[in-house]
């Protein structure tokens, strides 16, 4: 068995790509438009996984955009996506600059949670050991749900 991808449905391609690509730094590696099925599939890979994604078709995140409007609710029925990042503080700052709410700030220098525009919980984990506590993160309270 081999892990291939996780699929999440998205409401707006541009907002989702701004979050996953501009905010998190993922890269688009493949896109499929289906006129018959009325959907677009966009496959993303983390920067360190791009070569594997292109060669092995894994590991990837599949964004599914259905052309006909559909209400996906609060998306809490989906657990979360998890990414290891080089600098959790810089990643959270980049996301916050783009208007993303840091639901569970990286107070411990190790873990944070945010939500995508489609309310998918995203866990961010610091690569290697935890970074030393740093403001404003160390004293920032949790916001909302994740």
Active site positions, annotated: 123
Tell me phi and psi for residue 50, to 5 degrees. Answer: -60, -50
Q: Are 40 and 33 in contact (CB under 8 A)?
A: yes
Report long-range pairs for 42-46 (Cβ below 8 Å, ≥24 apart): 42/13, 42/16, 42/17, 43/5, 44/20, 46/83
First to last CA, the chain: 30
Please tell me the distance from the alpha carbon of residue 82 to that of residue 123, in angstroms, as a whole number: 5
């Amino acid at each position: 068995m081999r892990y291939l991808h996780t699929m999440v449905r998205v409401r707006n391609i541009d907002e989702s790509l701004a979050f996953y690509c501009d905010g998190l730094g993922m890269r688009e590696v493949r896109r499929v438009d289906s006129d018959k099925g009325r959907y677009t599939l966009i496959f993303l890979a983390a920067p360190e996984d791009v070569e594997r994604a292109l060669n092995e078709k894994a590991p990837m995140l599949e964004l599914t955009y259905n052309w006909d409007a559909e209400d996906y609710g609060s998306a809490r029925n989906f657990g979360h996506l998890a990414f290891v990042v080089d600098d959790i503080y810089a990643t959270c700052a980049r996301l916050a600059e783009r208007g993303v709410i840091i639901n569970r700030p990286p107070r411990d220098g190790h873990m944070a949670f945010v939500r995508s525009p489609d309310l998918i919980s995203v866990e961010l984990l610091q690569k290697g050991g935890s970074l030393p506590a740093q403001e404003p993160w160390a004293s920032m309270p949790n916001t909302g749900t994740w």
